[in-house]
């Protein structure tokens, strides 16, 4: 039987590695959006400050 409520997608699927990375910061926007920022980009110019999601591979990934 189908559910009346749409299931919320898993963060790991929609965000990728950032959902589990110690350097990722989730920022909520004014209209309910969530933006993922890489704090490692503050000190490493090779990293993207706001990466395109989902992130499937990253040199800076470190499990939190």
| Reported pTM | 0.77
Model pLDDT, residue 49: 97
DSSP states of the chain: ---SSPPPPPHHHHHBGGGGBTTEEEEE-TTS-EEEEEGGGGT-TTS-SSPPSSB---TT--B-
Whole-number Å distance between alpha carbons of 60 and 22: 10
Domain residue extents for the chain: 10-57
pLDDT tens for each residue of the chain, 64 residues long: 555 555 666 777 899 999 999 999 999 999 999 999 999 999 999 999 999 999 999 999 999 9
Whole-number Å distance between alpha carbons of 60 and 62: 6
């Amino acid at each position: 039987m189908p559910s009346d409520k749409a299931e919320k997608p898993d963060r790991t699927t929609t965000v990728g590695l950032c959902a589990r990375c110690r350097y990722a910061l989730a920022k909520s926007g004014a209209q309910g959006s969530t933006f993922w920022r890489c704090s490692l980009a503050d000190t490493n110019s090779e990293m993207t400050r706001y990466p395109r999601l989902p992130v499937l591979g990253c040199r800076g990934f470190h499990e939190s």
